[in-house]
């Protein structure tokens, strides 16, 4: 039970109607979860407006309302608080309600188009290996030490987020490593949190269905670094053309990492094989289990973060050399007949090119590269033809198929992708709507030594069609088919 004035501390209030001295038992922004003596925050969402459900929340017992527009009729016994931005206020309210758990551990946020999950997961694994109690908030899963909690969003809503952070504090966690999505920044889900540091991986074409323009997408990423305090650090990939922008006007302690340009933390790729990477990191040669130049950046980001968190350099490099990264990220297997199968979450043009470029760097030149790829429904349509073009340009054969069609007809999504297949690539591309059949066809086409890339879904264990999620696991299906055909 909390006192309302304490929960509202730091929230810029434009108008107050009622008492701030009442006790509050719960907070919510979903009117269906409103409870007696509870606080309801009316947030304007993309699909619905919480202001339309204020009366419902009051009917369920809510006695305090935070909103941007006051109802025409104010109920007796209910306190109303007018604010400019309900979403931003919700973040502050949630942090107050859970007594600022982010200030009781070291919270590091990782943002960027690609690499967020791998970097956050590697940091979690590394610091666990170094002997710390840790929490993880990621696209694949949330985790508190050994306890795994299902993840529904890359970055949870402010109430769920602060609740998870409080559970981490209660479990004795020293650190939490979390992905910070551009949606989360734009929707103020991280408002009220205190970050020890922020890490930027890269920025490429993605989420323009939500942000509308690349500039808005960039500004959402940058806004995270703009909010960091002077006692935190801001670590950026200096090789990315937008990396330096993230540091502009940030009050945080600024540091850089890179493979190409002058940086505070530097690495060089010495060898790159399917079995792993040999890197020179700050003058030390280390063999890592992970593959590809994109993972060289991920590993360097993790190493740099660990150094900024004042960890022992030798112990960090030894531990990192044992780790294998996040599920569904360049997750590969070799069949009994010698066909290499790779499952990767790549779902942007840049990510697809990174994976295929990595394969190109490692292959001897005689193997076929067969790529199975689709695009998600109800998402940025402009990247569909680009992803198909990238796949065709970097593969010997391409099978265009379904990803998560969601509410869209999969045939229409594939048709949008087909527009990116240039005339010179027409003979190497075929379209198969059924994803399992597409993977089966790739296995039939492959000969010993060939490489099959199944891109787009990675760690996901479902396929969403017509709004319904059906069990579907790319890695399991690919492995079963490869073993069956060997």
The DSSP call for residue 126 is: H
H-helix segments, 69-173: 86-97, 116-129, 158-170
Return the pLDDT at 242: 93
Residue tagged 């434009």 (tokens): 14
E strand segments, 155-252: 175-179, 197-200, 233-237
Contact (Cβ atoms closer than 8 angstroms) between residue 58 and residue 52: no
Return the pLDDT at 486: 64
- What's the rounded Cα separation, in Å, for the pair 98 and 306? 28
Angle between helices 383-394 and 410-418 (to 10 degrees): 60
- What's the rounded Cα separation, in Å, for the pair 45 and 298? 33
Tens of pLDDT along 319-367?
Answer: 999 998 778 888 888 899 999 999 998 888 988 998 998 899 888 878 9
Return the pLDDT at 139: 86
Backbone angles phi, psi at 273, to 5 degrees: -130, 170
- What's the rounded Cα separation, in Å, for the pair 226 and 100? 20
Q: Residue 98: exposed, middle, or buried by beta-carbon count in 10 A (0-12, 13-18, 19+)?
A: buried
Return the pLDDT at 207: 45
- What's the rounded Cα separation, in Å, for the pair 171 and 223? 31
Nearest Cα to 83, choosing from 153, 21, 10, 24?
10
Residues in the chain: 486
Residues 6+ apart with CB under 8 A from 355: 292, 294, 330, 342, 344, 346, 453, 455
Label residues 162-197 b or e (16+ Cβ within 10 Å = b): bbbbbbbbeeebbbbbbbbbbbbbbbbbbbbbbbbb
pLDDT, one tens digit for every residue, the chain (486 residues): 799 999 999 999 999 999 999 999 999 999 999 999 999 999 998 789 999 999 999 999 999 999 999 999 999 999 999 999 999 999 999 999 999 999 999 999 999 988 999 999 999 999 999 999 999 999 888 999 999 998 877 678 999 999 999 999 999 999 999 999 988 898 899 999 999 999 999 998 554 444 457 788 898 889 999 999 999 999 999 999 999 999 999 999 999 999 999 999 999 999 988 889 999 999 999 999 998 888 999 999 999 999 999 999 999 999 999 998 778 888 888 899 999 999 998 888 988 998 998 899 888 878 999 999 999 999 889 999 999 999 999 999 999 999 999 999 999 999 999 999 999 999 999 999 999 999 999 999 999 999 999 999 998 999 999 889 999 999 999 999 998 876
């Amino acid at each position: 039970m909390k006192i309302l004035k304490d929960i509202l501390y730091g929230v810029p209030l434009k108008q107050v109607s009622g008492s701030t001295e009442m006790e509050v038992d719960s907070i919510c922004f979903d009117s269906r979860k409103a409870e007696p003596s509870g606080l309801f925050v009316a947030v304007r969402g993309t699909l619905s407006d919480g202001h339309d459900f204020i009366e419902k929340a009051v009917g369920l017992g809510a006695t305090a309302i935070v909103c941007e527009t006051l109802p025409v009729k104010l109920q007796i016994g209910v306190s109303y608080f007018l604010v400019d931005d309900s979403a931003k206020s919700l973040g502050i309210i949630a942090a107050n309600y859970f007594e600022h758990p982010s200030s009781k551990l070291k919270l590091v946020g990782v943002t960027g188009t690609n690499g967020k999950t791998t970097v956050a997961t590697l940091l979690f694994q590394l610091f666990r290996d170094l002997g710390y109690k840790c929490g993880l908030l990621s696209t694949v899963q949330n985790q508190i030490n050994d306890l795994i909690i299902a993840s529904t969003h890359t970055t949870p809503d402010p109430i769920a987020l602060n609740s998870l952070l409080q559970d981490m504090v209660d479990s004795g966690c020293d650190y939490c490593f979390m992905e910070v999505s551009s949606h989360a920044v734009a929707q103020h889900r991280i408002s009220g949190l205190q970050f020890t540091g922020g890490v930027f991986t890269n920025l490429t074409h993605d989420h323009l269905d939500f942000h509308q323009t690349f500039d808005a997408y960039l500004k959402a990423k940058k806004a995270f670094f703009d909010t960091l305090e002077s006692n935190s650090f801001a670590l950026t990939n200096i090789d990315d053309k937008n990396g330096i922008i993230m540091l502009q006007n940030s009050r945080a302690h600024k540091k850089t990492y890179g493979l190409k340009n002058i940086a505070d933390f530097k690495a060089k790729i010495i060898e790159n094989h399917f079995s792993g990477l040999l890197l020179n990191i700050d003058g030390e040669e280390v063999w890592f289990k992970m593959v590809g130049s994109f993972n060289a950046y991920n590993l360097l980001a993790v190493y740099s973060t660990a150094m900024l968190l004042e960890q022992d350099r030798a112990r960090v490099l030894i531990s990192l050399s044992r780790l294998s990264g996040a599920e569904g990220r360049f997750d590969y297997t070799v069949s009994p007949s010698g066909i290499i199968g790779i499952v990767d979450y790549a779902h942007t043009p840049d990510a697809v090119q990174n994976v295929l470029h990595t394969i190109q760097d490692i292959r001897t030149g005689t193997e076929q590269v067969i790529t199975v790829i689709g695009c998600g429904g109800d998402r940025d349509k402009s990247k569909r033809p680009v992803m198909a073009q990238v796949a065709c340009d970097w593969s010997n054969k391409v099978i265009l198929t379904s990803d998560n069609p969601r509410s869209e007809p999969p045939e229409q999504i594939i048709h949008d992708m087909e527009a990116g297949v240039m005339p010179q690539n027409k003979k190497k591309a075929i379209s198969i709507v059924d994803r399992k059949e597409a993977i089966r066809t790739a296995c039939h086409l492959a000969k010993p030594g060939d490489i099959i890339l199944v891109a787009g879904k990675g760690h996901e264990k479902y396929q969403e069609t017509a709004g319904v999620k059906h069990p579907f696991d790319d890695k399991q299906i690919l492995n079963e088919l490869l073993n069956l055909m060997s």
